[in-house]
């Protein structure tokens, strides 16, 4: 219900045209079709009074009840869809008429999106602004700030401006104020290697803008951190490699920051060894500005910075650089906005707390209490935030280059958050399935597991010295299962959960996080890593990986032969039956052997033409067989389509003398629910002299907020000792 004393005013951006049966309205915000043949004439009649000076009561005065209701309904519709506003609710302001006239385009823009446009403009105008930079772009930044109406502008001309630059950024005479109240001052340049000096320089300002035509990345990092600590509004533009990176805008109420974005960019460099020296956090004052830097791009960059700040303070429209960074190609002038996620290594806005045993156990309890995740909606809302070619956790999710029948194939390329100088191909994750949606989901889940296992925040680890200073429960380093080269010494520890006793122990971080252990083989680095829709499922999947490994290890020393599975009679899932039929059509010699070891977890060796293609392990016989058949078909498809990129990794063969032609139907009675499976498997491991320890791979909240149960499980035969 509209108040009778409201003063309706049509917004300046409104356009409207008659339709044969109504009226079409359009503004910067939205479009609307209203039905009613008389509405166009009615709006034309009301137009002179919709100026913000006449009340609704005065507009409808003297009308009969029907006409009054018609007018009120139309005004109510226009108000609800933001085509008009109520000027009686405007906040007061002290702008002089000449100022309102000078900056009427700016005020009109605000008016398109918000109420009290003059008051909002006045608030922006009164902000104390500090501009930092050099070169032509910086000169244009000062001019753009003046054109937007800011009253007080202080500027710091940075040292690299004196290195061959013809900029006039230090001269006040080139800056013409747009009104008599504007003031531009040059202040002393601080010592950039003295944090206290820089802090004193920015202390008295509401907003800081930094623009550099050279990659002054140490300075950019410092300003970003200080502005976050002091809760200042901050935005900057950095030029590097013929690109200018604008944003993100950092404020007291924004998430993420420039350092987060830049670390994501570093992690997605395509040639790290060649590019990193230009993108690491150090200043390059003698670097040459881009050969494409000219007046148009300098003007575009300067105006973009000021416009983003203007929108943020006036709340007019959405600010594209909050949580985003804009890339402008200096050669083509094409721009692209990139979303990014906070980076756990950021020194400015990410401050992890070193966990204690009690806080670690509380975290485990939270994971155990969480409701199951719906796999069908797991990545739906977050996939756009995860994948970006320059700033994503993953750079690509691709299936275009692969044959998609009979198996759908997806490949994901991971970012490199630890900046490891590894082969580019090692960052690829590939998944297959008969269903395209399932293949995509598998690829995303495996990529999340690999990413979470790759990333480690050293600030969350306990140094060896601290462990030795306190009596903390640690695990001996000489009895780990599956470790080919034990560490000569341990430098850092992390907390792990003894799954049998539900107690916290410290384990060597180098065995948990591959990035800390360069001597470990790639397959060692991935063993025991899994995820699930629940904590129990994740633990079981990781333990199944270990069961698979232990069964294969026992196979090496086995002296008895193994029975062949009767595939015609063995239990099969519908997918397994489909895969079996496809392999039979392919006319390949398919045999599967039951190689289940002493753990009694169903394990099978799937062979094509006598060669072992895969070993598959699962609680359920039908699932284990289906997994082996799928990998066999994957290998066959890769060979016949000449696409070795998704061929199955080679596995240990076992002699023909250990293979029996006698057929049998495998039957194992194991629990079906994940909690029961976990309890059974832990008892089985303990009976065989093994202990399992679980470590949540949660150092990047960007992943764990979506897929919380990602774990690494280690096996050991050791006893607990006090450090």
Tens-place pLDDT, residues 122-176: 999 999 999 999 889 999 999 999 999 999 999 999 987 555 444 555 556 667 8
Average pLDDT over residues 322-351: 93
Tokens 């950024």 identify what position?
Answer: 169
What dihedral do alpha carbons 251, 255, 258, 260 form, nearest 10°?
Answer: 160
Distance, CA of 706 to chain centre: 10
| E strands in 111-215 | 128-133, 152-157, 183-186, 207-212
pLDDT (tens digit per residue) in 517-557 = 766 555 567 899 999 999 999 999 999 999 999 999 999 88
Residue listed under structure tokens 């300002």: 205
Write down the pLDDT at residue 497.
Answer: 97
The values of phi and psi at residue 235, to 5°, are -150, 145
- What's the pLDDT tens digit per position in 266-275? 999 999 989 9
In which element (H, E) is residue 480 found? Answer: none
Instruction: Name the DSSP letter for residue 114.
Output: -
pLDDT score at 164: 46
667 touches 312 (CB < 8 A): no
The pLDDT assigned to 679 comes to: 98
Percent of the chain exceeding pLDDT 70 equals: 95
d(CA 452, CA 443): 14
Residues 6+ apart with CB under 8 A from 237: 137, 210, 211, 212, 244, 245, 246, 247, 301, 304, 305
pLDDT of residue 65 exceeding 60:
yes
d(CA 329, CA 292): 9
d(CA 493, CA 481): 18
Q: Report strand pairing: 590-594 vs 603-608.
A: antiparallel
- CA-wise closest residue to 303 among 241, 220, 237, 213: 237
- Specify the 3-state DSSP secondary structure of 627: helix
Length of the chain: 723
- pLDDT of res. 524: 61
What is the largest distance, in Å, between two alpha-carbon atoms of the chain?
106
CB-based contacts of 229, cutoff 8 Å, min separation 6: 348
The end-to-end CA distance of the chain, in Å, is: 72
Q: How many helices (H) and strands (E) would you count in the chain? A: 23, 29
Angle at Cα 464 formed by Cα 459 and Cα 470, nearest 5°? 105
pLDDT at 28: 83
Q: What's the pLDDT band for 718 if we cut at 50, 70, 90? A: low
Pick from 121, 113, 90: nearest CA to 11: 113
Q: Whose CA is closest to 213, among 118, 294, 110, 123?
A: 294
DSSP code, position 471? T
What's 411's DSSP letter?
E
Tens digits of per-residue pLDDT, 545-604?
999 999 999 998 888 999 999 999 999 999 999 999 999 998 779 999 999 999 999 999
Over residues 455-470, the mean pLDDT reads 89
Q: State the Rg of the chain over Cα.
A: 33
pLDDT(721) > 70:
no
| HSE-CB for 586 with a 13 A CA cutoff | 21
Q: Both tokens of residue 76?
A: 């109510």
Q: d(Cα 646, Cα 399) in Å, to the nearest integer?
A: 11
3 state DSSP class of 130: strand
- Residue 172: asked if its preceding bond is cis (omega within 30°), the reply is no
For 350-376, the pLDDT digits (tens) are 999 888 999 999 999 999 999 999 988
For residue range 688-704, list pLDDT tens digits in order: 999 999 999 999 999 99
For 516, the token pair is: 């800390």
Mean pLDDT of 46-58: 91
pTM of the complete model: 0.90
| Contact status, residue 514 vs residue 453, Cβ threshold 8 Å | yes
Over residues 405-422, the pLDDT tens digits come to 999 999 999 999 999 887
Q: What whole-number distance in Å separates Cα of residue 544 and Cα of residue 550? A: 10
Comparing 621 with 380, the larger pLDDT belongs to 621
Other beta carbons within 10 angstroms of residue 126's beta carbon come to 14
339 and 326 Cβ atoms separated by less than 8 Å: no
SS3 722: strand
Half-sphere exposure of 577 (CA within 13 A, CB side): 7
Beta-strand relationship, 659-664 and 562-565: parallel
Token readout for 38 is 């008389």
Burial class, 400, CB count within 10 angstroms (exposed 0-12 / middle 13-18 / buried 19+): exposed
DSSP at 214 = S
Say whether pLDDT at 486 is over 90.
no
């Amino acid at each position: 219900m509209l108040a009778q004393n409201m003063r309706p005013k049509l917004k300046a951006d409104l356009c409207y045209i008659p339709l044969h049966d109504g009226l079409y309205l359009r503004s910067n915000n939205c479009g609307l079709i209203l039905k009613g043949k008389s509405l166009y004439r009615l709006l034309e009649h009301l137009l002179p009074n919709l100026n913000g000076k006449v009340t609704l009561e005065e507009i409808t005065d003297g009308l009969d009840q029907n006409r009054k209701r018609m007018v009120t309904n139309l005004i109510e519709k226009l108000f609800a869809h933001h085509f008009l506003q109520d000027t009686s609710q405007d906040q007061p302001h002290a702008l002089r008429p000449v100022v309102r006239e000078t900056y009427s385009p700016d005020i009109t823009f605000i008016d398109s999106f918000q109420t009290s446009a003059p008051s909002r403009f006045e608030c922006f105008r009164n902000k104390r602004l500090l501009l930092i930079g050099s070169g032509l772009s910086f000169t244009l930044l000062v001019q753009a700030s003046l054109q937007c109406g800011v009253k007080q502008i202080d500027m710091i001309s940075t040292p690299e401006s004196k290195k061959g630059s013809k900029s006039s950024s230090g001269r006040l005479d080139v800056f013409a104020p747009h009104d008599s109240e504007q003031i531009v001052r040059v202040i002393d340049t601080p010592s950039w290697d003295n944090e206290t000096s820089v802090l004193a320089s920015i202390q008295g300002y509401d907003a800081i803008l930094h623009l550099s035509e050279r990659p002054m990345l140490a300075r950019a990092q410092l300003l970003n951190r200080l502005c976050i600590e002091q809760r200042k509004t901050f935005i900057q533009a950095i030029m590097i490699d013929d690109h200018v990176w604008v944003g993100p805008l950092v404020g007291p109420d924004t998430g993420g920051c420039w350092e987060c974005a830049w670390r994501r960019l570093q992690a997605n460099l395509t040639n790290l060894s060649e590019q990193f020296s230009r993108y690491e956090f150090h200043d390059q004052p003698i670097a040459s500005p881009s050969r494409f830097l000219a007046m148009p791009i300098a003007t575009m960059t300067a105006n973009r910075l000021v416009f983003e700040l203007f929108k943020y303070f006036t709340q007019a429209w959405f600010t594209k650089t909050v949580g985003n960074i804009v890339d402008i190609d200096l050669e083509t002038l094409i721009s692209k906005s990139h979303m990014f996620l906070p980076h756990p290594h950021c020194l400015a806005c990410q401050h992890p707390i070193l966990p204690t045993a009690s806080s670690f156990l509380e975290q485990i309890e939270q994971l155990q209490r969480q409701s199951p995740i719906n796999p069908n909606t797991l990545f739906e809302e977050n996939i756009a935030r995860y994948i970006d070619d320059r700033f994503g956790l993953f750079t690509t999710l691709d299936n275009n280059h692969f044959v998609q029948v009979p198996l759908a194939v997806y490949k994901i390329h991971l970012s490199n958050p630890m900046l490891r100088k590894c082969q580019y191909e090692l960052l690829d994750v590939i998944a297959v399935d008969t269903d395209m949606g399932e293949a995509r989901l598998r690829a995303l889940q495996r990529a999340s597991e690999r990413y979470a296992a790759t990333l480690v925040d050293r600030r969350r680890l306990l140094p060896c010295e601290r462990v030795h200073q306190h009596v903390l429960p640690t695990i001996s380093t000489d009895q780990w299962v599956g470790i080919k080269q034990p560490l000569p010494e341990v430098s850092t520890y992390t907390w792990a959960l003894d799954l049998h006793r539900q107690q916290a122990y410290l384990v060597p971080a180098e065995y948990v996080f591959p990035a800390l252990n360069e001597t470990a083989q790639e397959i060692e680095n991935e063993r025991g890593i899994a995820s699930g829709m629940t904590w129990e499922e994740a633990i079981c999947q990781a333990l199944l990986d270990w069961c698979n490994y232990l069964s294969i290890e026992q196979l090496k020393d086995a002296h008895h032969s193994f029975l062949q599975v009767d595939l015609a009679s063995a239990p099969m899932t519908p997918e397994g039956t489909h895969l079996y039929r496809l392999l039979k059509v392919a006319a390949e010699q398919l045999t599967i052997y039951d190689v289940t070891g002493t753990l009694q977890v169903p394990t099978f060796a799937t062979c094509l033409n006598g060669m072992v293609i895969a070993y598959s392990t699962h609680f359920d016989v039908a699932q284990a067989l289906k997994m082996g058949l799928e990998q066999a078909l994957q290998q066959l498809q890769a060979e016949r389509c000449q696409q070795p990129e998704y061929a199955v990794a080679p596995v240990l063969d076992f002699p023909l003398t250990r293979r029996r032609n006698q057929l049998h139907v495998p039957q194992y009675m194991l629990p079906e629910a994940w909690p029961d499976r976990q309890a059974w498997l832990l008892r089985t491991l303990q009976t065989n002299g093994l202990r399992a320890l679980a470590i949540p791979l949660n150092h990047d909240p960007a992943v764990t907020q979506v897929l919380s149960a990602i774990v690494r499980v280690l096996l050991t035969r050791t006893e607990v000792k006090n450090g």
